Structure 1
Amino acid sequence: MTIRRRLLSAAALFPLTLLLGATGPQPAAEAPPEASGTGSATAQAPADTVSASPPDAGSPESLATASAAVLGSASVADGGIPALAAEPGLVPPVPVPSRQSAPPIAKLQPLPRAADLLARAKLEGERLVVKEKDGRKQVLTIDPLLQTQLTNIMRDYGVPYGAVVVLEPSTGRVLALAEHSAARPEVRGLPVRAVFPAASIFKIVTGSALLEAGVPPSVEECFHGGKRRLSEKHLEDSERDGACYTLALAMGKSANVVFAKLTNKHLSADALRRMAARFRFNREIPFSVPTDISLAAIPDEAFGLANTGAGFGDVYLSPLHGALVASVAANDGRWVDPVLVEPETGALLPPEGEAVLTPEAAKDLTAMLEETVTRGTARGVFRERGFRVENAVGKTGTLADREPFRDYSWFVGFAPRDNPRVAVAAVIVNDPKWRIRGTWLGREALRLGLERVPAPVEVTAPASAAGKH
């Protein structure tokens, strides 16, 4: 019986520890020397650097300070961001590390136990409960069986770093915060750590900004090359442009040059910064566990801006934030904060949420994300016989560090498309040889999550007895 078919007892719950991945289980495979074809590349715009000293990583701090503690001292690219901004999120609250010279995962520190609610939780019946010193009990929203299933998948496949988040998009109720690290078993808290390059997941933000700028999903852009790196020549229309994709298909196939060219033609740095801020980059996300701020440096310079719009920039994302980014489209364009503790009284009802996109733009974004599963980079994984997830939508992302080699792979998405019940984010950081990657783990998170959150039962009203005698 394979790990994918095994149903694990909730009593076997393992504490969470790491990241997520993006293809299917295979015998140890050689990773590509750079980024794989799911979307991002290793090229980056040049940037000036400065140094930042981190505070004490072991003390409880504000979320912005906690991000600095996790990211540590690093070279950064400010990308020309103005010193002051009137709206939250337009300026990173701490220096943004350069992915090439100072990848933040190298400075990763464990989550302090006092803040690690899952490490302190005990199974009581079918719920995880945290007992406080004053006798109070906090009942967590986590589904123990789903948490165990996802943790054991990563543990059994020996992922170096992996994390996966499953939540209910309409309410923000978090159903799983699973993690594992074979590389550093002492590390905990990966689902809330923004130490992973966002890669092509940032195309969701870019695509949303393009929609708002009046670019329809049907607009077509022709291109050539750019699978693993971009140059300024890629931004120019050329006789070598032998392929043409619509914006929707470019999202599905994670076409870097199309996103770079459309960013260059239709977006300003301010427009992309504002959309990123709406999606909560460079902003605190309130949560019961201290959560890193997902940092995004968006430069003013034209090629750097296009590079960032395509997913090559210095932009970092936590798995929890990744699931929330996917949830915006699931919630008709609304942002809903995550919830880890059940309310003491009453049911957890869907909040109104803050508007990120119009319902029309959210509908277009959802259709674009569906291309990933039907015709794009996740098509093969989601067509695997016996493990299909019907009406799923999502986005993949892949990026690699060179020295030392780290292969980051992502999947974020939700299902079903029209009545979303679960949203997920999965990320795995692999060595050159790997067994599973983010898309496969994300698919499993959707499949197993839907089993734990069944579809509402439609009640048919009985036929009227009027006129009967």
Structure 2
Amino acid sequence: MNTPIRRLAVVVMLMFTALLLSTTWIQFVQAEDLRDLPGNRRTLIETYSRDRGAILVDGTAVARSERTDDELGWIRRYDQASRYAHLTGYFSFTYGAGPGLERAANAVLAGTDDSLFYQRVSDLFTGTPPSGASLELTIDPAVQAAAQEALGGRRGAAVALDPRTGAILAMVSSPSYDPNGLSSHQLAAVDRTFAELDEDPDRPLVNRAIGGDLYPPGSTYKLVVAAAALESGDYDPDSELEGGRTYTLPGSSTSLPNFGGAACDPEDRPTLAESVRISCNTSFAWLAGELGADALREQSEEFGFGQELAVPMPVTPSSYPESPDPAQVALTGIGQHEVRVTPLQVAMISAAIANGGSVMTPYVVQTVRDSDLEVIDETDPRELSRAVSPATAEALRDMMVSVVESGSGTAAALPGMSVAGKTGTAEYGTQGAAHGWFTGFAPADDPRIAVAVVVESATDDWSGETGGVVAAPIARAMFEAGAQR
């Protein structure tokens, strides 16, 4: 009789032990994962029960929380919505924090970040409702507006940096969208809005300035090639290059022409400076072959290619191809083949040249303030890398000034101000479509703003819209708005 009872007791003890272990596992090991499940309505409601921090541009909230009478407690509002959508992102009950600062700085905005621990303790003792911290951005509203208005709804992107600090003065991706449609508490309408945006072939939810399908840089990459040539010590601005009407790619019978089929020099021997000014394809293809893939990759990396950056939104690294053959190396010399960049990266190239060769780490959050407006974090400018020497930067600046004064970038010129720039027209796909680029800085002798603009091809077949035609005027508008900062 005692044996069956002992066996039953052992079974009951094992069952209690299993129950205790499973409960402990759920409460302490799986708790965070279960809490963060997308369908956990209780957690979502708890998240919405607090005053989320504002996102500020020049002291004005472009994202803020507003109290509601429904069970969610608060709703996120976005002013000047489409102008700042790719910076703010969205905060949706259905879809959570969308790409932008709402996601990248979610813990700070929600008030759960470790930096806000003492505020949470104080709120607990005083009975103050929990709230998030506010973000003050580096964005210059005038430059942001100029970029968006000048793009005019065309697909593309524009970025502006303060070359001295790396502060992002503008970040525009076009087309944009209205985050208010995703933060609404009309959940059926939110679903419809998200489906429309997600299925839109123009991809308005993608921030083209820092991610998405990266762009071939076209002739803006010639700045990197010229930098590598000058840094090698084998070339100076007056060095003569091979630059006929066409250039036969090594190991092939394919001829690379200059734009419009024109010669770069009567003697087919343009200098490096002249090749930059008129954007000579044949001389840069030849020069890339002389320098080699390793030198170009190294120079690219010194400008920031391959870096895992966060501004704090994650930035897709730009890239130079791993193992190009000689013909492909020549094509990389004009920013083609598999060279891929973000507009932010191209702006960083110009900013480094403007800053004497020093690449500053880009950032968009200047300060973080708690609910009492006390500064709890502030971004200090930090050098990312030394791309080129001051002497090389000065030589490149002079070449870029000539591009705007009398070369391919005259549409970016401003009266009474020296502007430095470089145009680019980047082919992509198989049907001859081409994106228009412009990058540069102003004033050239005391740089305050460095920009990069890309305008995507309007058609599958290129219609003559060069970077100098479509992108340079947008950069000019940005320079005009920001060069006197």
TM-score interval, normalised by the smaller of the two chains: 0.5 to 0.7
In structure 2, what is the equivalent of residue 312 of structure 1?
336
Structure 1 residue matching 2:269: 3-state secondary structure: strand
Question: Percent identity, aligned pairs only?
Answer: 28
Structure 1 residue matching 2:169: 3-state secondary structure: strand
Q: Report which of the two structures shows the higher radius of gyration computed on alpha carbons.
A: 2
In structure 2, what is the equivalent of residue 201 of structure 1?
220
1:217 corresponds to 2:242: no
Aligned length: 332
2:412 maps to which of 358, 362, 382? 382
What is the distance in 2 between the residues matched to 1:228 and 1:119?
Answer: 49
TM-score, normalising length: structure 2:
0.61
Instruction: Tell me the C-alpha RMSD between the 2 structures.
Output: 3.4
Aligned positions of 1:346-365 closer than 5 A: 350-365=381-396
Q: Judge conservation of contact 2:412–2:475 (CA < 8 Å) in 1.
A: no
Structure 2 residue matching 1:197: 3-state secondary structure: coil
In structure 1, what is the equivalent of residue 158 of structure 2?
164
Against the structure 1 CA distance between its residues 200 and 12, is the aligned structure 2 distance closer, same or farther, given a 3 Å change threshold?
same
Q: Which has the higher contact order (CA 8 A, sep 6+)?
A: 1
Structure 2 residue matching 1:210: 3-state secondary structure: helix
Aligned positions of 1:181-330 closer than 5 A: 181=175, 184=202, 186-193=204-211, 195-214=214-233, 215-226=235-246, 242-265=267-290, 267-297=291-321, 299-330=323-354
Amino acid at match of 1:195: L
What is the distance in 2 between the residues matched to 1:229 and 1:378?
Answer: 27
Against the structure 1 CA distance between its residues 367 and 396, is the aligned structure 2 distance closer, same or farther, given a 3 Å change threshold?
same
Residue by residue over 1:114-149, the C-alpha shift from the partner in whole angstroms, topping out at 9 and shown as x without a partner, is: 33128999xxxxxxxx94354111111112343233
Against the structure 1 CA distance between its residues 217 and 288, is the aligned structure 2 distance closer, same or farther, given a 3 Å change threshold?
same
Amino acid at match of 1:207: A
Q: Judge conservation of contact 1:199–1:311 (CA < 8 Å) in 2.
A: yes
What is the distance in 2 between the residues matched to 1:298 and 1:371?
Answer: 33
1:137 corresponds to 2:155: no
Which has the larger displacement, 406-415 or 346-355? 346-355
Q: Judge conservation of contact 1:201–1:396 (CA < 8 Å) in 2.
A: yes
In structure 1, what is the equivalent of residue 472 of structure 2?
439
Against the structure 1 CA distance between its residues 232 and 333, is the aligned structure 2 distance closer, same or farther, given a 3 Å change threshold?
farther
Q: Judge conservation of contact 2:104–2:313 (CA < 8 Å) in 1.
A: no
Q: Judge conservation of contact 1:154–1:179 (CA < 8 Å) in 2.
A: no
Q: Deviation of residue 404 (structure 1)?
A: 5.8
Bigger proportion of residues as helix: 2
Q: Deviation of residue 422 (structure 1)?
A: 0.5
Against the structure 1 CA distance between its residues 119 and 391, is the aligned structure 2 distance closer, same or farther, given a 3 Å change threshold?
farther
Against the structure 1 CA distance between its residues 341 and 259, is the aligned structure 2 distance closer, same or farther, given a 3 Å change threshold?
same
Against the structure 1 CA distance between its residues 113 and 186, is the aligned structure 2 distance closer, same or farther, given a 3 Å change threshold?
farther
What is the distance in 2 between the residues matched to 1:241 and 1:233?
Answer: 23
What is the distance in 1 between the residues matched to 2:310 and 2:254?
Answer: 42
Aligned positions of 1:383-462 closer than 5 A: 383=413, 387-388=414-415, 390-401=417-428, 403=430, 406-432=433-459, 437-451=470-484, 453=485
Structure 2 unaligned spans of 5+: 1-61, 63-78, 87-94, 113-131, 177-200, 257-262, 369-374
What is the distance in 2 between the residues matched to 1:145 and 1:322?
Answer: 21
Structure 1 unaligned spans of 5+: 1-9, 19-110, 122-129, 454-469
Amino acid at match of 2:245: G
